[in-house]
Amino acid sequence: MFGFGKKKDYTATILNTGESFEVKGGINLLQAAMNAGVKWPHECRVGSCGSCRATVKKGKIKALNDFAYVLDGAQLKSGMVLACQTRLQSDVEIEVDFEQGAIN
């Protein structure tokens, strides 16, 4: 069967730096960024610290975990996600604050 069981590949573009990278095989956004050499802020990688947060400006994602454990209502409403708990469902355009630290 065509494409059965195979995850699609997408492209993520960081709007504030102009960097683009491939997100292949259904890996999470943070892992893909690190594989591409992007110095994306992160600490826990399990969705609890908030340091990998970024704002999705365009595109569709799937949350692997409930972001509301870490992000507040205003952040969620603005399109903020946790990159370590985000899988892409389309190409995306995102903004990343490279100076940010953990929330919790």
Rule CB under 6 A: which residues touch ligand FES?
Answer: 42-45, 47-52, 82, 84
Q: How many C-beta atoms surround the C-beta of residue 80 within 10 A?
A: 19
Cβ distance to ligand FES smaller for residue 5 or 53: 53
Q: Where are the beta strands (DSSP E) in the chain?
A: 10-14, 20-23, 53-58, 61-63, 80-82, 86-88, 92-95
What is the closest distance, in whole angstroms, from the C-beta atom of residue 9 to ligand FES in the complex? 22
Alpha carbons within 13 angstroms on the beta-carbon side of residue 70 total: 25
* Closer by beta carbon to ligand FES, 10 or else 80: 80
**In the complex, least distance from residue 77 CB atom to ligand FES, rounded to whole angstroms:** 19
Task: Select 12 or 52, whichever has its Cβ closest to ligand FES.
Answer: 52
Residues β-bridged to residue 76: none
Q: Least separation, in Å, of the C-beta of 48 and ligand FES?
A: 6
Assess contact for 33 and 21: CB atoms under 8 A: yes
Kindly state the smallest distance separating residue 25's Cβ from ligand FES, in Å: 19
